[in-house]
């Protein structure tokens, strides 16, 4: 049986297929009809979604395809369950696309898996095992979990995760291709790994909780990014820190009104247990800062406010370092991934005041109030160097689709892995 072929054409479809149709069929496959008055990536993505609905086992891209259009097809064609395989167009981009697609599939599967199958420790082990497989002896790691987190002073991860019977965990992984144990660390990636988020005592609605297996999308994204960079023969030393926990309710769970004292002396009043992501990331950012790395990128499905601001198509970018922010945006543009800057100033550190601590973890109102995404970034800014030099915070509004759209399948998107990988190479 021959492969189902998909070709591109700038010619319109035959009139029998309907006026302005973008997809027509033949005995051997389909043709996507591009148009001068519409973005080609969007046309390809919409056609890929229609083809994906046919549950094809495999498609072969034939004819003249640019790398960006092949990637656009892959993003939209690859459904969450039993995805069909793709045979890339026969050009010089096939090997690069295969590496990128492998990282995309790993990232998406990690997010899409059932929360019952992905405990905090399991998330840490799966990330570490995959990167070890790619990086071999250049990769080493440790996992700290349960009471050992509290003893080590990682009180954010510990407190958010102590309500669950499955212990919280912190993965610290070192990719060091230099062969020198004393080599400086070039970059650190930090990921929010909340494997399920009930909201804690600030409990979510059933509808709001349904997709909360995706709340470890930040951890998956930075893991996928590092894995992609390793497969691209990255020659820089990079550390990965995943902050993993289940945010559940029990007699052991952390509570509203608790005050947490972090390693750097910052005290935090908990006014919303559903603002847990920033509490775990604070630990990861302190660990990252201790390395002295000139670049720190954290990624998290952190706030609904970011989604309100930029919608489901963009990731929000925050940084007090203009040069780092612009470089991140430039990398995203080069990879055809949508990133958009939102405000972050030093005064945002003080936008969640508390009479009982240095700061609260949010504002005691729905969504954290106006500017909630910037206020969350301001909270995180307390845990990096005071000027925020070299630090970039990504609020991943485009990480997950609760339902399929005309351009993207339901579930994890994997958007961002290519941009962060490029950033590791170029910063």
| Alpha-carbon dihedral angle through residues 291, 171, 395, 217, given to the nearest 10 degrees | 160
Pairwise CA distance, residues 12 & 404, whole Å = 27
In the chain, the number of structural domains is 2
Does position 227 have pLDDT exceeding 70, yes or no?
yes
CATH number for the domain that contains residue 36: 3.40.220.10
Beta strands 400-401 and 411-412, pairing class = antiparallel
Residue 36 confidence class, pLDDT cut points 50, 70, 90: confident
Give yes or no: residues 59 and 192 share one domain: no
- 399 phi/psi in degrees, rounded to 5: -80, -25
Give yes or no: residues 182 and 71 share one domain: no
Give yes or no: residues 153 and 295 share one domain: yes
Does position 350 have pLDDT exceeding 80, yes or no?
yes
Q: Which pLDDT tens digit goes with each residue over 136-177?
A: 999 999 999 999 999 999 999 999 999 999 999 999 999 999
At residue 173, the pLDDT reads 99
Give yes or no: residues 123 and 43 share one domain: no
Tokens, residue 47: 């056609």
At residue 214, the pLDDT reads 98
Q: Whole-model pTM?
A: 0.97
Give yes or no: residues 152 and 189 share one domain: yes
CATH number for the domain that contains residue 408: 3.40.630.10
Share of the chain above pLDDT 90, in %: 96
Give yes or no: residues 135 and 33 share one domain: no
Closest to 170 (Cα-Cα) out of 302, 271, 249, 279: 279
Task: State which residues form the domain around 299.
Answer: 106-426
Q: Which pLDDT tens digit goes with each residue over 169-183?
A: 999 999 999 999 999
At residue 37, the pLDDT reads 82
By annotation, the residues acting in catalysis are 204, 278
Give yes or no: residues 84 and 115 share one domain: no
User: In this structure, are residues 118 and 90 in contact, taking their beta carbons and an 8 Å threshold?
Assistant: no
User: In this structure, are residues 342 and 423 in contact, taking their beta carbons and an 8 Å threshold?
Assistant: no
Tokens, residue 404: 């399929």
DSSP H/E element including 59: strand 58-62
**Of the candidates 62, 91, 120, which is a domain's last residue?**
91
At residue 365, the pLDDT reads 85
Does position 367 have pLDDT exceeding 80, yes or no?
no
Give yes or no: residues 277 and 387 share one domain: yes
Does position 1 have pLDDT exceeding 70, yes or no?
no
Give yes or no: residues 140 and 73 share one domain: no
């Amino acid at each position: 049986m021959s492969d189902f072929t998909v070709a591109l054409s700038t010619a319109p479809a035959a009139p029998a297929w309907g006026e302005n149709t973008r997809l027509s069929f033949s005995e051997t496959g389909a043709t996507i009809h591009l148009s001068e008055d519409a973005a080609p990536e969007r046309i390809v993505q919409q056609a890929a979604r229609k083809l994906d609905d046919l549950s094809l086992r495999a498609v072969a891209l034939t004819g003249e395809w640019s790398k960006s259009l092949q990637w656009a097809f892959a993003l939209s064609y690859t459904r969450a369950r039993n995805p069909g395989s793709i045979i890339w167009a026969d050009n010089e981009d096939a090997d690069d696309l295969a590496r990128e697609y492998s990282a995309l599939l790993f990232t998406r599967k990690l997010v899409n898996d059932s929360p019952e199958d992905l405990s905090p420790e399991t998330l840490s082990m799966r990330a570490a095992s995959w990167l070890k497989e790619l990086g071999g002896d250049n990769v080493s790691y440790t996992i700290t979990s349960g009471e050992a987190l509290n003893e080590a002073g990682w009180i954010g991860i510990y407190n958010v995760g102590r309500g669950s019977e499955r212990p919280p965990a912190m993965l610290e992984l070192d990719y060091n291709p230099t062969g020198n144990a004393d080599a400086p660390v070039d970059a650190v990636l930090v990921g929010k790994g909340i494997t399920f988020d009930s909201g804690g005592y600030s409990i979510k609605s059933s509808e709001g909780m349904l997709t909360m297996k995706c709340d470890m999308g930040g951890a998956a994204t930075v893991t996928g990014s590092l894995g992609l960079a390793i497969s691209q023969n990255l020659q820089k030393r990079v550390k990965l820190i995943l902050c993993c926990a289940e945010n559940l309710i029990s007699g052991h769970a952390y509570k509203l009104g608790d005050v947490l004292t972090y390693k750097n002396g910052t005290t935090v009043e908990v006014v919303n247990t559903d603002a847990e992501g920033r509490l775990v990331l604070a630990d990861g950012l302190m660990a990252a800062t201790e390395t002295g790395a000139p670049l720190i990128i954290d990624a998290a499905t952190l706030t609904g406010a970011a989604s309100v601001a930029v919608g489901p198509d963009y990731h929000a970018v925050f940084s007090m370092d203009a040069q780092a922010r612009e470089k991140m945006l430039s990398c995203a543009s080069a990879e055809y991934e949508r990133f958009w800057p939102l405000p972050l100033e030093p005064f945002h550190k003080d936008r969640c005041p508390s009479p009982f601590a240095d700061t609260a973890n949010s504002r005691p109102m729905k969504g954290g109030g106006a500017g909630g995404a910037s206020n969350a970034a301001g909270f995180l800014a307390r845990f990096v160097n005071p000027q925020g030099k070299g630090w970039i915070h990504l609020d991943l509004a485009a990480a997950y689709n609760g339902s399929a759209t005309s351009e993207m399948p339901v579930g994890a998107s994997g958007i961002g892995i290519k941009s962060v990988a490029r950033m590791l190479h170029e910063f």
